Amino acid sequence: MDLIALALGILLLCLVTWDLFETIVVPRPTPDRFRIARYVVRLSWPAVRAIGRPRNGKTHDTLLGLFAPAMTLTLLVAWLAALILGYGLVLFALRDQLSPSPHDLGTTMYFAASSVLTLGYGDIVAVGPAARAVVVVAAVSGLGVVALVVTFLFSLYGSYQRREVKVVTLQAAAGAPPSAVALLVTFAQLDLVGRLPGLFAEWERWAAEVLDSHVAFPLLGFFRSSHDNLSWISALGTILDAASLVLTTVERVPRGEAELFTRVGAHLVEDITNLGFRAGMTADPRTASPHPSLGRDAFDEAYARLGAAGYDLVPADAAWRAFEADRAEYAGRLNAMAAYWATPANSWLDPSEALTSPAHIRSDPEPAGAIHEVDASPDEEIR
């Protein structure tokens, strides 16, 4: 019995240490099925999405906004609890080196908890060398876990705030939810068309930072915008659509910056969806439209608005074919992301469209036609 408890305790401590190392220390995705953090988030998110879903959008959105911050605290509790259990099993196997010697596992768990949390009441004392070493290591690991999680929180919130600054400022030009057509029309009306290349360059840097941070720490994807009808996913889709329009439809606007942003943005969308999700109804997520109403009629209306705003345009038929092909590189994956995280989808012509888009109104754990987790790809939503 003592050997079994010792082996189980050491195994659990190794799993917790490895999970902490991969989740917080390693700045890149680390696929592994034996992860505490992975399963805490995987099992919690569908349950939270299912709570309060019938016709209570505001309350439901508030609940979803609490998920990511709550998960950081939940993970801290889970890691500490696993450490206490692991050290409790080890100390139970070494109970002869404790004074007074505990007669049951519960008392040993209490002593392990006081050691991990550095309470040190002194009602139980380690007297043997092995038990003393375990108690010292338990105290160090407990302090280390708290320090690592605090560092993790600062890193998460720093990345979150840098991400949201660009998302919020986009609202002034593109509306909420943002619209690529509204963005381009606003720039034309304010005589800012010459600043479009600079806009795409800024969002290229934004996309590169989001790619690096969200792939390294996927929990960031669950952090929602503090403003209604805005999300980093809809902002990304809006700038991608605007860049695609510049590349395929609008003439006399420099295209180099738009092309570079499109490459980085499409890379971001692809890597995020490769964390373990895919489009549910199609074999290739690139073939799924991120906005059900977007077709030739919607494009023609956008084409007319851009022309009325003063843009020189490519002939409509050629522009539509090129735009449709260009948008297919990211559209389906972007829709999958919006559906899974239940965020507002980007609008096309009018910001009110996105409020009734399927990605926004569906709140079931697995939206129809949206995404499902890929069993063959064990990369986590959270490391």
Return d(Cα 380, Cα 373) in angstroms, integer.
10
**β-bridge partners, 98:** 126
Q: Please tell me the predicted confidence (pLDDT) of residue 276.
A: 60
Residue 172 CA to its chain's centroid (Å): 25
- The total of other beta-carbon atoms located within 10 Å of residue 76's CB is 17
**β-bridge partners, 251:** 312
Q: Please tell me the predicted confidence (pLDDT) of residue 284.
A: 42
Return d(Cα 196, Cα 95) in angstroms, integer.
70
Contact criterion met (CB below 8 Å) for 64 and 342: yes
Q: Please tell me the predicted confidence (pLDDT) of residue 88.
A: 93
Return d(Cα 62, Cα 224) in angstroms, integer.
9
Locate the domains of the chain by residue range: 2-149, 160-373
Q: Find tokens 């800012």 and name the residue.
A: 192
Model confidence pTM above 0.85: no
Contact criterion met (CB below 8 Å) for 83 and 16: yes
Per-residue pLDDT of the chain (383 residues; tens, 9 = 90+): 588 888 999 999 999 998 888 888 877 766 666 677 878 887 888 888 887 564 556 777 788 888 999 998 999 999 999 999 999 999 999 989 998 888 888 899 999 999 999 887 878 898 999 999 999 999 999 999 999 999 888 889 999 999 999 999 999 999 888 999 999 999 999 999 999 999 999 999 999 999 999 988 888 989 988 887 789 999 999 999 999 999 999 999 999 999 999 999 999 998 888 876 543 323 344 434 444 447 889 899 999 999 999 999 999 999 999 999 999 889 888 888 888 888 876 677 665 443 333 333 333 333 333 333 333 333 444 44
